[in-house]
Structure 1
């Protein structure tokens, strides 16, 4: 591992790519702290000072602030982050699966470029809409869940967050937010082309990791209160268990993210002239967590709308406020959250995984699954296998998604720290880091340097060879380890809760 990092700087091209990526990251972080024009800087400064000594709020507000790298809480020019572009990309990815005309366009020459252009137009439209509502939130922070605690700061200073509200401020905010998102899109394209890793994913990952120091500091203040003799009242076992619990969660996320069911594919031999083609055995990988982080994002996006609309439409109505709170915390929230994650896991697989098309392609090129007839039986086999894998993936996503909120409410852990124990942020970090390591390792191996794993490349980028049943064996092993890790996770979480309360 150490030699791999030293080898990175021995390759001039790779070294330049990494330095370029770091330079782009610095620019992103600068934009995340530059306040939007028209915002009272003194109110922001005093709010930051008071927020540094208190626990951050949990829920959707902290999640959106996490994705923007703290820019939303800073009322910065990058407050929208890259999320409008992500939302537009997801929307068109789903539309190409359900609208035949768009699906046909995506498969044509140059069609992908047209869809990318439509995606950018949709991004601008989303930026305008979200920028307008964000300007309204800045003008009236009492109705915004994203500006937690700033109202008290405004009352203490007898100042408003926006000294001159109105149409001019709203237009300026829309232009600023749209320009900020488009600039982040350009930075992402530059990183993808001239840096290391996927630029858009790295922008989100860097924003999430930027919140890690603040989360660790708030966790330390929670378990080790300041004052004379306070530290001696803290049980050190809690801190050790929390660290071990975090390592266990990360290990489980990595294992399930990489877990695959490998379907053995054989090709019939063909004799063309004096050459023999086919006859070899290959493997089709089916991921356990095929949907990735998308079900969690969809579930969170749907759950936020009812609560936000209720709070904004009926700010003084107690019943509406109580219902909004039930949709963001409590048993109703967790139940709906889990059901939606399961639903969107299967929905994503149904729209993106096409077993009939895969079966037709295999039949066309002379491939078949041993023991399964070509055509519709192959499609049914793939659909049945993917359905079973999706259940395990959905169960994994539900556990990971609920963990941060359970720690936030059960252990009184600050949400800034709890969100690193699971949820969308951890899944994104693991996926992006693994993908970036694969790209770096590819550069190293192409130039005959040792990679991060000397005996083989990162799992998922390896070429597996073997006999006919090894794919099923690997899949069963992955599922077994998944359920073992899930059981250990539940036991460890229960142990922490019991130790904390006693």
Structure 2
């Protein structure tokens, strides 16, 4: 991958694209440091830090810590991601959207416009919710004791600032798609997550101090965790590239004096075809009890709430029950997401319409049944892989009693974006017939 970036830097066009992408990332990080007016973020940071396993902690991870600091880009790409997921699901349920998805480039442009407007609406709604969260935590300069005009004016400014920041991030991501390299939204998420990894060095320094103070286990824990992190990264790279190739043979046909067809190809089915989306869905759903508990801490009082307190503790992110439910949800959402993306009957019909067959299987239902069977096996392998990577930090933290900040979801996103960007560079260089790459 590093060789790919080195060769890409030698090409002027690619160098400009890389520099433009880097410029957008710098602008993104500057926006993550600009505070929104009328807010005292110190009152919020400690509270969000205690919500590491909840939905708010997950949003803070995606935003690179901007959410807990209440900066201009506090909402980050969260509204756009939610809008993309909603439109993608509605494309299957609403015939009009399904027709747009099949109309080629014009249809995709319309769907993109609809997604953009939906993202703006979600950003406004999240901005309103975030304002009331700040108000509830006492993080507003103009509190309940201020005049009505000051309260209303500060509310409008804060909500519009959060909404405008989210829309600006969407625009920056689109500019990377057009003038830069890779998927813009994914690269901005990548930049936000990586910016928080500096805390790892602080954690290691703390562990070394504890080890010097007599807790010898940290001398063994640090190298073990480093080796495990490297092993997980290698595991992610291998299974991201792994695929099952279904052979396809096209029949020969004669048109005039020329013969067409007869070639052999394959249908590639990736092991990790759903990416990190099942982990995102499962994390959002499994963290709902913890999020509710964060808003209502009195529910943890067993004397006043004999049922709610044990239930919320059972869903603690460091518990075995949470890990088991998290794993099952990842597997279930993986099957759901693959079922939304792949239709074996449609694939079989397309093969039959193009005179293509899978060797050993007749066209029609036998072909679709075979594809369904293969998809089921590959989906299970991919789901188990995602579950292991996502749950491993929870298991290690429970066994060792140490909070492991380098989560599996973060590694999945970072490694996946790095691989996709590298593939984009390789494709561009392949089209340019770059000598250094082809050799």
1:257–1:288 contact (8 Å) kept in structure 2: yes
Residue equivalent to 2:249? 266
- Would you say 1:326 and 2:314 are equivalent positions? yes
Q: How does 1:220-235 map to 2 (within 5 A)?
A: 220-221=205-206, 223-225=207-209, 229-230=212-213, 233=216
2:245–2:268 contact (8 Å) kept in structure 1: yes
Task: Give the counterpart of 1:203 among 188, 199, 203.
Answer: 188
1:311–1:324 contact (8 Å) kept in structure 2: no
- Would you say 1:162 and 2:140 are equivalent positions? yes
Deviation at 1:301, TM superposition (A): 1.5
Highest RCO, 1 vs 2 (Cα 8 Å, sep ≥ 6): 1
1:39–1:161 contact (8 Å) kept in structure 2: yes
Task: Give the counterpart of 1:409 among 388, 398, 404.
Answer: 398
Question: Matches of 1:451 and 1:202 in 2, distance apart?
Answer: 26
Task: Give the counterpart of 2:417 among 428, 432, 438.
Answer: 432
Task: Give the counterpart of 1:449 among 428, 434, 438.
Answer: 434
Deviation at 1:281, TM superposition (A): 0.6
1:58–1:408 contact (8 Å) kept in structure 2: no
Question: Matches of 1:415 and 1:138 in 2, distance apart?
Answer: 28
Q: How does 1:61-210 map to 2 (within 5 A)?
A: 61-109=56-104, 110-141=106-137, 161-165=139-143, 166-210=151-195
Question: Matches of 1:447 and 1:365 in 2, distance apart?
Answer: 31
Deviation at 1:315, TM superposition (A): 3.6
User: How many residues are matched?
Assistant: 423
2:271–2:381 contact (8 Å) kept in structure 1: yes
Question: Matches of 2:274 and 2:88 in 1, distance apart?
Answer: 13
Residue equivalent to 1:58? 52
Aligned in 2, Cα 1:22/1:315: closer, same or farther, shift over 3 Å?
same
Question: Matches of 1:428 and 1:113 in 2, distance apart?
Answer: 26
Secondary structure class of the residue paired with 1:161: coil
2:208–2:218 contact (8 Å) kept in structure 1: no
1:139–1:162 contact (8 Å) kept in structure 2: yes
Question: Matches of 1:407 and 1:317 in 2, distance apart?
Answer: 25
Task: Give the counterpart of 2:384 among 395, 412, 434.
Answer: 395
Normalised TM-score (structure 2): 0.89
Deviation at 1:408, TM superposition (A): 3.3
Structure 1: unaligned runs, 5 residues or longer: 142-159, 456-502
Q: How far does the alpha carbon of each residue in 1:472-497 deviate from its partner, in whole angstroms, 9 at most, with x for none?
A: xxxxxxxxxxxxxxxxxxxxxxxxxx
Secondary structure class of the residue paired with 2:267: strand
Residue equivalent to 1:374? 363
Secondary structure class of the residue paired with 2:68: coil
Q: How far does the alpha carbon of each residue in 1:424-459 deviate from its partner, in whole angstroms, 9 at most, with x for none?
A: 22111122111111111223333333566x66xxxx
Deviation at 1:326, TM superposition (A): 2.2
Deviation at 1:59, TM superposition (A): 1.1
- Would you say 1:38 and 2:34 are equivalent positions? no
1:31–1:77 contact (8 Å) kept in structure 2: yes
Deviation at 1:242, TM superposition (A): 1.7
- Would you say 1:348 and 2:344 are equivalent positions? no
Question: Matches of 1:83 and 1:211 in 2, distance apart?
Answer: 17
Deviation at 1:163, TM superposition (A): 2.1
1:265–1:282 contact (8 Å) kept in structure 2: yes
Normalised TM-score (structure 1): 0.78
Structure 2: unaligned runs, 5 residues or longer: 144-150
